[in-house]
């Protein structure tokens, strides 16, 4: 593939030469961000459809949800602690995304990730195979931009016709290559032969968790707690564990012992793989508390036959817990962890519950496609990725009103906008001929994600 | 032929030099603007656990808690930090306000039930005020009424109440 950058010919000496060079450089700096290699954008497909025709294609995956908006000023590529990293929802999102891809039968020959920790972590959590870091997928800004894109071009050029490559990277890199904006955890298939970019949606039920990524916290309370040894805590299981979400969600449900203990099993995001922090409090004559890390949990019974949970602690506990207790456990975010059904789902007409989106305005602003009136009332908020009112934002999942991938009223232009132009193109839920109607079919989106 | 000074009205060089300088400055500025990330790293997120000898409902929306003088704050993963906040500092988190897109924190109150077991209730803590009393006391305003016989020793577990590290919440590794 020819990764053509503007080039400046130098012909002899001229008084105008420095100015020409300078203006060319300026033009380069300004115009390069618009360079894209996708010649067209096809309608989105679900992962199963992509899997059926994955050979010879590249699946760009934007890293999952991460903290903050940008890397810190003290950013160091070799030190994750200085970077913007996956947040709890992002880790669950990446895990669920991988489950969707695996369930659909996506078996990539290679999984490449940028050198940024959030991309590497996303790639690892996808669980699609060994991850190779590749600097050509790093963010594309500043002086290294051209170099990075050249390296990416070279790699894409060598993707075989029978090969499927997953590339976990960043929004600006995907945008620079395809001209398409992708939200965190979003996927875009790219066909080097046809230069066609195509959104890939996690339709498989296994991916339902992708929209259910709010952390749930747990409280295990009961009548008796004791140490078997300094690293082993036995706490009676007198009734189901109490789970509740983080704000802004206000949900709570209970979890039985089997499901609760199961959180320590299975999968890279399990409590077993990433032990939760917790605070144990117990009530005697006084109330005591200790901060602990719970590395394992199993069902057991006490000497007098009461059901209980045996916890393994990362470190010896300082104290002698006894009597009534409550144990406050750090988040767990997988779908079904506490009955999250419907919580983040699309509402057929009203948009989804707001998570980060600003409320109210997204629906009203769904006219990026040229003045449409889609979107219902938008009263439920801008959606998971929502940024109500960002009419100038463009891209695959965006569009006027920028309600985002999963939600919000005003979904006009959801998959259709061409970057930099603000013009809609045919896309999912859009009038395929003109992209001018703002006629997003919210119900279809709801069906897609159900 | 002797050299002649260029006619400043027709000589393009001064203008070109200015334009060159302008372009170079613009390019350098653009490069630095793109190369320099602008925001700080996402901070640790702090949960909180409050314990004390007595929690009572003054009315269905008002929970008064006598407390230890400090409240334990700890981060969720991947961080493993903890620290303590004074009651006044803890209450000031509500005075400072919470992000508009999250609102006030959720919490779960557990207390010793009359039957000897442990009861629990989910609450949304809309406000917090330190009460001037002989013993450290915080009065919470609940967003929704709570109908429960709350009494006696309790623990109150809060979802994220703060982010970042500052003089209130110091990011030191938890002692294990």
Give residue A200's region: left, alpha or beta (phi > 0; psi -120 to 50): beta
Contact A82 B75 (CB under 8 A): no
- pTM, rounded to two decimals: 0.52
- Give the model's pLDDT for residue B28: 54
Candidates A217, A221, A248; nearest CB to B110? A221
Does a structural domain hold residue B104? yes
Does a structural domain hold residue B85? yes
Burial class (CB within 10 angstroms; exposed 0-12, middle 13-18, buried 19+) of B105? buried
Query: What is the spatial distance between Cα A223 and Cα B158, in angstroms, rounded to a whole number?
Result: 22
Which chain B residues touch A283 with a CB distance below 8 Å? Answer: 112, 118, 153
Contact B23 A250 (CB under 8 A): no
Does a structural domain hold residue B11? no
- Give the model's pLDDT for residue B49: 96
Does a structural domain hold residue B147? yes
Least confident of A116-130, A393-407, B116-130: A393-407
Query: What is the spatial distance between Cα A348 and Cα A446, in angstroms, rounded to a whole number?
Result: 6
Which chain B residues touch A331 with a CB distance below 8 Å? Answer: 76-77
Q: In what order do the strands lie in the sheet with A232-236?
A: A225-229, A232-236, A307-313, A287-301, A277-283, A324-332, A216-222, A241-245, A252-255
What is the β-pairing status of strands A40-46 and A196-201? parallel
Residue in chain B nearest A328 by alpha carbon: B157
Q: What is the mean pLDDT of residues A391-401?
A: 28
Residue in chain B nearest A357 by alpha carbon: B101
Query: What is the spatial distance between Cα A437 and Cα A382, in angstroms, rounded to a whole number?
Result: 20
3-state secondary structure at position B34: helix
The DSSP secondary-structure symbol of B173 reads B
Residue A66's nearest CA partner among B160, B78, B98 is: B78
Residue A409's nearest CA partner among A363, A349, A364, A354 is: A363
Would you say residue A192 has pLDDT above 50? yes
Residue A184's nearest CA partner among A279, A85, A79 is: A85
Q: Which of B28, B38, B42, B151 to mutate to test the interface with A (most CBs of A within 10 A)?
A: B42
Query: What is the spatial distance between Cα B149 and Cα A216, in angstroms, rounded to a whole number?
Result: 26
Residue in chain A nearest B76 by alpha carbon: A330
**H or E element that contains A278:** strand A277-283
Q: What is the pLDDT of residues A59-81, one digit of tens each?
A: 999 999 887 777 877 888 888 88
Q: What is the mean pLDDT of residues A85-94?
A: 80
Which chain B residues touch A287 with a CB distance below 8 Å? Answer: 51-53, 68, 153-155
Largest CA distance in chain B: 115
- Assess contact for A281 and A287: CB atoms under 8 A: yes
Q: Does A246 touch chain B (CB under 8 A)?
A: yes
Q: Which residues contact B60 (CB under 8 A, 6 or more apart)?
A: B142, B145, B146, B147
Burial class (CB within 10 angstroms; exposed 0-12, middle 13-18, buried 19+) of B2? exposed
Higher pLDDT, A97 or A220: A220
Candidates B38, B105, B120; nearest CB to A247? B105
How close is the nearest chain A Cα to the Cα of B166, in Å?
Answer: 16
Q: Does B28 touch chain A (CB under 8 A)?
A: no
Q: Does A304 touch chain B (CB under 8 A)?
A: no
Does a structural domain hold residue B9? no
Contact A286 B53 (CB under 8 A): yes
How close is the nearest chain B Cα to the Cα of A142, in Å?
Answer: 4
Largest CA distance in chain A: 97
- Assess contact for A343 and A316: CB atoms under 8 A: no
Does a structural domain hold residue B35? no
Q: What is the pLDDT of residues A349-379, one digit of tens each?
A: 222 222 222 222 222 222 222 222 222 222 2
Q: How far is CA B27 from the centre of its chain?
A: 38
Q: Does B10 touch chain A (CB under 8 A)?
A: no
Contact A247 B13 (CB under 8 A): no
Which chain B residues touch A142 with a CB distance below 8 Å? Answer: 31-32, 34-36
CATH code at position B76: 2.40.30
pLDDT bucket at A222, cuts 50 / 70 / 90: very high
3-state secondary structure at position A272: coil
- Give the model's pLDDT for residue A100: 82
Query: What is the spatial distance between Cα A60 and Cα A273, in angstroms, rounded to a whole number?
Result: 27
Which chain A residues touch B146 with a CB distance below 8 Å? Answer: none
How close is the nearest chain A Cα to the Cα of B119, in Å?
Answer: 8
Task: Specify the number of domains making up chain B.
Answer: 1
- Assess contact for A63 and A86: CB atoms under 8 A: yes
Q: Which residue has the tokens 């990293």?
A: A85
Q: Does A287 touch chain B (CB under 8 A)?
A: yes
Q: What is the mean pLDDT of residues A92-103?
A: 83
* Consecutive 10-residue averages of pLDDT for chain B (176 residues): 61 72 62 39 80 94 92 88 92 90 91 86 96 89 94 93 82 56
Q: Across the A/B interface, how many CB contacts are shorter than 8 Å?
A: 198
Q: To 10 degrees, the CA torsion angle through A76, A80, A81, A85?
A: 110
What is the β-pairing status of strands A110-113 and A131-133? parallel
- Give the model's pLDDT for residue A102: 87
Least confident of A101-110, A138-147, A246-255, A262-271: A138-147
Candidates B13, B34, B117; nearest CB to A223? B117
Does a structural domain hold residue B6? no
Residue A439's nearest CA partner among A449, A423, A426, A421 is: A426
Percentage with pLDDT > 90 across chain A: 30
Least confident of A85-89, A181-185, A307-311, B104-108: A85-89
Query: What is the spatial distance between Cα A158 and Cα A167, in angstroms, rounded to a whole number?
Result: 14
Q: Which of A254, A279, A355 to mutate to test the interface with B (most CBs of B within 10 A)?
A: A279
pLDDT bucket at A168, cuts 50 / 70 / 90: very high
Residues 70-129 of B with CB under 8 A from A: 72, 74-78, 80, 82, 98, 100-106, 108, 110, 112, 116-118, 120, 122, 124
Domains and CATH numbers, chain A: 37-209 (3.40.50.1240), 214-332 (no CATH), 344-450 (no CATH)
Q: What is the mean pLDDT of residues A17-38?
A: 52
- Give the model's pLDDT for residue A439: 25
- Assess contact for A93 and A65: CB atoms under 8 A: yes
Q: How far is CA A110 from the centre of its chain?
A: 20
How is residue B140 written in tokens? Answer: 């919470």
What is the β-pairing status of strands A57-62 and A164-169? parallel
Does a structural domain hold residue B129? yes
Which chain A residues touch B77 with a CB distance below 8 Å? Answer: 88, 274, 276-277, 330-331
Q: What is the DSSP string of A29-97?
A: HHHGGG----SEEEEEEEHHHHHHT-TTEEEEEE---BSSSS--TT--TT-GGGS--B-HHHHHHHHHH
Which chain B residues touch A217 with a CB distance below 8 Å? Answer: 47, 108, 157, 159
Which chain A residues touch B78 with a CB distance below 8 Å? Answer: 85, 274
| Domain membership of residue B156 as a residue range | 45-163
Candidates A248, A277, A291; nearest CB to B102? A248
Q: Which of B10, B14, B108, B158 to mutate to test the interface with A (most CBs of A within 10 A)?
A: B108
Q: Does A231 touch chain B (CB under 8 A)?
A: no
**What are all long-range contacts of B86-91, with beta carbons under 8 Å and residues at least 24 apart?**
B87/B130, B87/B136, B87/B137, B87/B138, B88/B130, B89/B168, B90/B48, B90/B50, B90/B128, B90/B138, B90/B161, B91/B128, B91/B129, B91/B130, B91/B138
Q: Across chain A, what does the average pLDDT equal? A: 67
């Amino acid at each position: 593939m020819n990764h053509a950058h503007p080039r400046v010919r130098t012909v002899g000496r001229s008084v105008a030469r420095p100015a020409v060079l300078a203006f060319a450089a300026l033009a380069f700096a300004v115009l390069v961000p618009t360079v894209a290699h996708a010649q067209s954008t096809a309608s989105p497909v679900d992962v199963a459809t992509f899997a059926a025709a994955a050979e010879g294609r590249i699946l760009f995956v934007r890293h999952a949800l991460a903290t903050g908006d940008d890397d810190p000023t003290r950013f160091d590529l070799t030190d994750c602690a200085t970077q913007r990293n996956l947040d709890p929802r992002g880790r669950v999102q990446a895990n669920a995304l991988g489950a969707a891809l695996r369930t659909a039968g996506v078996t990539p020959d290679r999984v490449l990730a940028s050198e940024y920790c959030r991309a590497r972590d996303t790639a690892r959590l996808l669980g699609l195979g060994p991850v190779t870091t590749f600097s050509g997928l790093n963010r594309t800004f500043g002086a290294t931009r051209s170099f990075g894109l050249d390296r990416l071009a070279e790699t894409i050029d060598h993707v075989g016709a029978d090969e499927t490559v997953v590339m976990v990277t960043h929004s600006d890199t995907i945008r620079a290559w395809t001209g398409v904006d992708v939200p965190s955890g979003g996927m875009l298939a790219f066909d080097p032969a046809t230069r066609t970019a195509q959104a890939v949606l996690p339709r498989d039920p296994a991916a339902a968790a992708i929209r259910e990524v709010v952390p749930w916290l747990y409280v295990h309370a009961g009548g008796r707690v004791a140490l078997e040894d300094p690293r082993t805590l036995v706490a009676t299981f007198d009734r189901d564990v109490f789970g509740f979400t983080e704000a802004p969600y206000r949900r709570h449900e209970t979890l039985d012992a089997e499901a609760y203990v199961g959180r320590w099993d299975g999968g890279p995001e399990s409590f077993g793989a990433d032990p939760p922090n917790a605070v144990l409090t117990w009530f005697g004559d006084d109330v005591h508390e200790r901060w602990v890390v719970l590395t394992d949990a199993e069902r057991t019974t006490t000497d007098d036959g009461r059901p209980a949970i045996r916890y393994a602690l990362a470190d010896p506990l300082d104290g002698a817990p006894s009597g009534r207790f409550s144990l406050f456990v750090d988040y767990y975010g997988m779908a079904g962890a506490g009955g999250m059904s419907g919580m983040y789902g699309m509402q057929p007409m009203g948009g989804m519950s707001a998570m980060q989106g600003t409320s109210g305005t997204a629906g009203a602003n769904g006219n990026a496609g040229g003045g449409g009136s889609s979107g219902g009332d938008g009263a439920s908020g801008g959606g998971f990725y929502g940024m109500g009112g960002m009419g100038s934002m463009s891209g695959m999942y965006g569009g006027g009103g920028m309600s985002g991938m999963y939600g919000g009223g005003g979904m006009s232009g959801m998959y259709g906008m061409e970057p930099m132009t603000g013009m809609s193109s045919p896309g999912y839920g859009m009038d395929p001929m003109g992209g001018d109607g703002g006629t997003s079919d919210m119900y279809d989106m709801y069906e897609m994600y159900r | 032929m002797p050299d002649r000074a260029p006619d400043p009205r027709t000589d393009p060089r001064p203008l070109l030099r200015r334009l060159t300088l302008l372009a170079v400055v613009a390019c350098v500025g653009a490069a630095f603007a793109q190369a320099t990330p602008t925001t700080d790293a996402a901070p640790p997120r702090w949960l909180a656990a409050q314990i004390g000898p007595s929690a009572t409902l003054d009315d269905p929306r008002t929970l008064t808690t006598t407390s230890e003088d400090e409240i334990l704050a700890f981060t969720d993963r991947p961080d493993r930090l903890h620290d303590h906040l004074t009651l006044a500092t803890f209450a000031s988190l509500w005075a400072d306000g919470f992000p508009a897109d999250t609102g006030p924190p959720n919490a779960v109150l557990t207390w010793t039930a009359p039957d000897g077991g442990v009861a629990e209730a989910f609450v949304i803590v809309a406000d917090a005020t330190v009460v001037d009393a002989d013993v450290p006391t915080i009065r919470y305003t609940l967003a929704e009424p709570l109908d429960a016989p709350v009494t006696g020793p309790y623990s109150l577990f809060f979802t994220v109440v703060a982010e970042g590290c500052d003089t209130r919440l110091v990011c030191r590794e938890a002692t294990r």
